[in-house]
């Protein structure tokens, strides 16, 4: 959202330098180029933001679907002065807009609608092919052991995006843990302060405010105040528990950083793209290809660099994880909000909509079989591609068959 505001401000500055004598044809070229940039910038934005852009440019006689000046528009509207006014109004609309965080009755009765709302509220999500690009390379099946990717997963990430407050606070937590299970964590007062600072910052965002209101409305939490809910989040995400020895694990460590089980020679958890990128940049993460079959959220013609959900295989610090999954480009607050919501209001497997993706959000509690009265922790939570429905599977099979027959005729 901040990037969009900066983009509009930049174009407004440039518009102010256009001579008043600019012809309609020259102005059409400028407006078309600006609309292409705004389309790209708002591709993953809430629908209302895209509507704002369309409505404002329509007021000056621009036909967004045709990407041209409206044929029936009043010629006096399509001027440099009106173009400047359009950008000024769009800038004001964006500055004044704030997405509502109160869940609707429909969302309270449908977890998938609520999760999709979280996606729309993720205003700090990175834009594919602008803020980052991935290189998915070769795919393989779960049982395959070979490395199907010779190059890193990330082509680039705009690290300026990682300086957003919640991102920066999240990154500050990543060096607070020992990756090996069986090594007890020692949490210092400084680390506790970092944890609370992170929770305080994400509670200032729309996804977490929505989840808090949702849980209160559903009676899933008694923490009606911000302070009480932050404490509940602290216990949920940073409360230590025993996997092998006392206090050697937590939900935050497992889900977002990952853990290494040396006795099994494997990685567990590790479902966050920021940690993945930073470890790959350091040389400690080796991407080994995506897992087939791959269900794409965007159209099949969209560049693979635009993926925002990936199931993959990798090695971390020399230890293998045959199959894992992660969102890409999403904000820390979105992921904490999504997994918290599914923990309190969902089951172990939750098929939900998140923007263009039909996602299977899995939630594991710990221990698996608690004794009566024993405290239950969040063991893990992660996204995955939802299984194909029957009609989707049929279409994919038909498409594959048609493609093979077409190749035989060549």
Catalytic (active-site) positions: 254, 271, 321
- The whole-angstrom separation of Cα 236 and Cα 155 is 34
In whole angstroms, how far apart are CA 321 and each of 60, 85, 240, 357, 390?
A: 55, 54, 24, 23, 30
Residue 61 has φ and ψ, to the nearest 5°, of 90, 30
CB atoms near residue 295 (< 10 Å): 16
Count Cα neighbours of 115 within 13 Å in the Cβ-side half-sphere: 27
Run of H or E including 339: helix 332-345
- The whole-angstrom separation of Cα 56 and Cα 48 is 12
173: tokens are 């937590």
CB atoms near residue 76 (< 10 Å): 9
CB atoms near residue 361 (< 10 Å): 25
């Amino acid at each position: 959202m901040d990037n969009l505001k900066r983009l509009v401000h930049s174009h407004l500055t440039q518009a102010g330098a256009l001579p008043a004598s600019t012809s309609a044809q020259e102005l059409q070229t400028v407006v078309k180029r600006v609309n292409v940039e705004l389309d790209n910038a708002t591709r993953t934005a809430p629908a209302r933001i895209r509507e704002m852009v369309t409505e404002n440019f329509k007021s000056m006689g621009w036909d967004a679907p045709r990407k041209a000046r409206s044929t029936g528009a009043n010629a006096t509207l399509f001027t440099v002065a009106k173009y400047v006014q359009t950008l000024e109004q769009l800038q004001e609309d964006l500055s004044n807009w704030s997405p509502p965080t109160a869940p609707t009755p429909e969302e309270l009765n449908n977890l998938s609608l609520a999760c999709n709302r979280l996606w729309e509220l993720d205003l700090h999500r990175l834009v594919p092919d602008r803020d980052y690009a991935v290189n998915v390379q070769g795919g393989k099946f779960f049982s395959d052991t070979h490395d199907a990717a010779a190059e890193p997963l990330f082509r680039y990430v705009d690290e300026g995006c990682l300086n957003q407050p919640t991102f920066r606070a999240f990154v500050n937590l990543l060096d607070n843990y020992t990756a090996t299970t069986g090594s007890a964590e020692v949490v210092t007062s400084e680390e506790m302060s970092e944890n609370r600072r992170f929770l305080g910052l994400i509670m200032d965002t729309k996804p977490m405010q929505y989840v808090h209101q949702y849980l209160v409305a559903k009676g899933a939490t008694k923490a009606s105040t911000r302070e009480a809910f932050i404490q509940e989040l602290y216990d949920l995400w940073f409360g230590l528990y025993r996997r092998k020895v006392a206090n050697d694990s937590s939900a935050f460590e497992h889900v977002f950083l990952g853990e290494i089980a040396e006795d099994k020679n494997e990685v567990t958890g590790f479902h966050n793209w920021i940690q993945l990128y930073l470890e790959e940049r350091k040389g400690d993460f080796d991407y080994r290809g995506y897992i087939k079959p791959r269900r794409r959220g965007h159209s099949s013609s969209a560049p693979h660099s635009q993926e925002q959900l990936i199931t993959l295989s990798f090695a971390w610090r020399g230890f293998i994880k045959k199959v894992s999954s992660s969102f890409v480009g999403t904000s820390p607050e979105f992921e904490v909000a999504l997994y918290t919501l599914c923990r309190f209001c969902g089951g172990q497997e939750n098929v939900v909509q998140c923007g263009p993706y039909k996602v299977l959000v899995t939630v594991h509690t710990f221990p698996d079989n608690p004794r009566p009265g024993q405290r239950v922790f969040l063991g893990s939570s992660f996204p995955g591609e939802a299984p194909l429905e029957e009609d989707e599977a049929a279409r994919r099979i038909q498409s594959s068959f048609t493609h093979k027959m077409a190749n035989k005729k060549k």
